[in-house]
Amino acid sequence: MNLSSPRRPPTGFSLIELLAALAIATLLAAIALPAYQEHVRRTHRAAAQLALMEAEHHLHRYHAARLSFAGAALPDALTRVPATGAAVYRLTLTLDASQTQRFTLAATPTGAMQGDRCGTLSVDQTGRRTISNNAADTRDCFKAS
């Protein structure tokens, strides 16, 4: 009578298989993470562009009622992007003191967007768009994501 049990095949993963799977996961993460982060930046940039457009419309309505931008100010809801949570852009309004018909709106990156390749996004009363970082193309920074 043989009391030894039949040998069962090993179950689970070997160390080599585990290391191979870990290497593949690391490679995929190294490729996907920068693409995801750029997508998030483009989304924040698009939100800043929308806020700039809303602020610009607010100022043009102000101008239509008073025939001047003198004394105009941004409502609190239009001074940061997003309106709630951690701000990634701060909006500021600059009025030309000598000309009551000119303004510049600027969306300055803060928090997670600091150091963004596009820098500060600006628009003036004519709709002319500019960026503070001349290393990037204005069309690339202002295009939809």
Average pLDDT across the chain, whole number: 87
In the prediction, which pLDDT does 131 show? 86
Per-residue confidence (pLDDT) for residue 132, from 0 to 100:
84
Interatomic CA distance for residues 70 and 96, integer angstroms:
9
Q: Could you state, in order of their start, the residue ranges of all structural domains in the chain?
A: 15-142
Sequence letter at residue 43: T
pLDDT digits (tens, 9 = 90+) for 65-120: 998 888 888 998 899 999 888 999 999 999 987 778 889 999 999 998 888 888 89
Give the model's pLDDT for residue 62.
93
Q: What is the pTM of this model?
A: 0.77
- Cβ–Cβ under 8 Å, residues 102 and 89: no
pLDDT above 60 for 130: yes
* Furthest CA-CA distance within the chain: 109
Using the CB atoms, write b or e for 50-87: b if 16+ within 10 Å.
ebbebbbebbeebbeeeeebeebebeeebbbbeeeeeb
- Is a pLDDT exceeding 70 seen at residue 137? no
Better-scored residue on pLDDT, 139 or 69: 69
The residue ranking higher by pLDDT, 130 or 139, is 130
Mean pLDDT throughout 126-136?
78
pLDDT at 51: 95
Pairing of strands 103-109, 129-131: unpaired
